[in-house]
Amino acid sequence: MPAELCAVCHAKKAKRHCPGLGKSICPTCCGTEREVSIDCPFECSYLRDSRRYDQARPAERPAFAFPDIEIGDSFLHEHEQLIAKLSIELLVYALSNPRTTDHDILAALEKLVRTYQTLSSGLYYESVPEDHTQAAIFRDVKKFLDELQQQEQQKGAIRPLKESELLRSLVFLHRLGTVRTNRRLRGRAFIDFLRQMFPAAAPTKDEPRLIVPGA
């Protein structure tokens, strides 16, 4: 009986089951097409191994967008809850829309930063992305932040959230995503990182649920 051939290249022997395709593929195509032409589920053992490998190997520090915006340790400590809530909002959106990629999230975050830069200067102009998916993420997060500010005002918060604080929180997440993404076309390494950081926000197999962290 002839050996089964790879479902991607149709040339090499198929040695790995690909849960993204539901077929068997060769190790070479698994490595080169992973999160490029194949939508890999988070649970794939080969994907998980590649995540560990990527994090373990030395990497050059990426060039960050908005280098003029400083984010110190004191800001991160004081705004830990805000950043966590923002992270969960992004994560829940991505898990509810499985074709969302790291690139989509980073592009939406960049446009949100530009929007809040304008707001901080006293003007109102939304830099909405042209891409449909990225625009949807933009609107989802913008609505979330608008509601968060409204809640602060309704509670009569002594120190309501400022646009500049939202701006820096968005910049931090953009930088975090820049470090965590693997830059593959369909890459979701940053989303996977958020999933590991906030496991309670990920829906179970039985029912979806959202838990906002208390710390």
pLDDT band at 111 (very low <50, low <70, confident <90, very high): very high
pLDDT tens-digit readout, 116-171: 999 888 888 999 999 999 999 999 999 999 999 998 887 776 677 889 999 999 99
Residues 52 and 77 in one domain: no
Residue 210 clears pLDDT 80, i.e. is over it = no
114 and 44 both lie in a single domain: no
Question: Average pLDDT of the chain?
Answer: 90
Residue 2 falls inside a structural domain: no
| Co-location of 158 and 192 in the same domain | yes
Please check whether residues 44 and 77 belong to one and the same domain. no
**Encoding tokens for residue 68?**
């003029």
> Above 70 in pLDDT, residue 95?
yes
Question: Does 105 lie in the same domain as 22?
Answer: no
Domain identity same for 82 and 160: yes
* Same domain for 91 and 39: no
pLDDT-wise least confident of 94-108, 150-164, 183-197: 150-164
Q: Rounded to two decimals, what is the model's pTM?
A: 0.88
With respect to residue 215, please indicate whether it lies within any of the assigned structural domains. Answer: no
**79 shares a domain with 181:** yes
